[in-house]
Structure 1
Amino acid sequence: MIREMTKADFEIFWPTFRDIVVAQESYAFDPQINIETAYQLWCKQTRASFVFTQNDQILGSYYIKSNGMGPSDHICNCGYMVSELARGKGIASKLCEHSQATAKALGYSAMQFNSVVSTNQIAIKLWQKLGFTIIGTIPEAYRHAQLGLVDSYIMHKALIR
């Protein structure tokens, strides 16, 4: 089940959020981020945030927000996180499909991912399977904890044609 995230949900989800950020493999968030700053970033500075629950456990989450302002506010941006224990079970795919439907309902005509780390091949293949294309490469844009400087991709999908 996917539903809007509450502050209590975020507190439960915090260990997953923290672990993903501390790993420094996919998100360009400060690894020293605290729970309140993370909550503001994920839930308050966004248009909405959602959780994927199963058997009363929060296994994943996403946020949706405008990618730009004014004349560029018709394109949205999303971020997704899935608990390590739940990876490989189709949750990211369900979250992305839900986010696209949400984006359309909110009036967005396209979705753009601003920085998909090039070494995150599982995510890249999933996003491509769901219709996203790589429209640009940012050289050495990400300091990967294990691999050093790696490229990031900008990915895009039109939602309304």
Structure 2
Amino acid sequence: MQIRSATPADAAAIWAIIGPTIRAGETYTLDRDMSEAEALAYWFGAGKAVFVAEADGAILGTYYLRANQAGGGAHVANAGYVTGAQASGRGVARAMCLHSLEQAKMRGFQAMQFNFVVSSNVRAVGLWESMGFEIVGRLPAAFEHPVEGRVDALVMYRTL
């Protein structure tokens, strides 16, 4: 597997990965009905570096990296990751997280923060913890899960 910067030619493959995740509404605070164009505009938004993980010519996952906040918070990175359903359980998210931590360091960030990790996404929470992230905050019932109802959102953080 290799991870590289995304190009405009990757848009259809990225949509094929992020579209089902957005539609499911279980992990991102995005409008489940947003259009492909809106979703790609969000993913490739200003200030974001976008990457794809690929193997054998197929894109398996994607992530973006950005400053978590402007001004006084710009030394802390933020990232969002989505692995394609066909690549689940193959270490793609772990590889993308490791890559993002390296990229964040190279770009001068001092830490990384995930602002809103849905607590029912136990695989992600466990993965982030195994990568050195700590839960530093809990937002009670902050996420309306389409199946589980209101669940907590976690703030996770680690230094680089």
Query: Could you tell me which residue of structure 2 aligns to residue 25 of structure 1?
Result: 26
Query: Could you tell me which residue of structure 1 aligns to residue 55 of structure 2?
Result: 54
Paired residues, what number?
159
Unaligned runs of 5+ in 2: none
Q: Report the more deviating stretch, 113-122 or 14-23.
A: 14-23
Q: Give deviations 1:48-68, integer Å, cap 9, x for gaps.
A: 000001111010000001111
Query: Could you tell me which residue of structure 1 aligns to residue 88 of structure 2?
Result: 87
* Length-normalised TM-score, structure 2: 0.97
Structure 1 pair 46–39 and aligned structure 2 pair: CA distance change class (3 A): farther
2 CA distance for matches of 1:17 and 1:47? 16
Matches within 5 A, 1:1-161: 1-159=2-160
Residue 97 of structure 1: CA displacement?
Answer: 0.2
1 CA distance for matches of 2:34 and 2:70? 26
Opposite residue 67 of structure 1, the aligned amino acid is N
After TM superposition, where is structure 1 displaced by more than 3 Å over at least 4 residues in a row? none
Any conservation in 2 of the 1:46–1:63 contact (CA below 8 Å)?
no
Q: Give deviations 1:73-105, integer Å, cap 9, x for gaps.
A: 000100000001101110000000000000001
Aligned-pair identity (%): 38
2 CA distance for matches of 1:78 and 1:46? 12
2 CA distance for matches of 1:5 and 1:97? 17
Opposite residue 26 of structure 2, the aligned amino acid is E
Unaligned runs of 5+ in 1: none
1 CA distance for matches of 2:38 and 2:25? 17
Q: Give deviations 1:8-31, integer Å, cap 9, x for gaps.
A: 212222122110011111011111
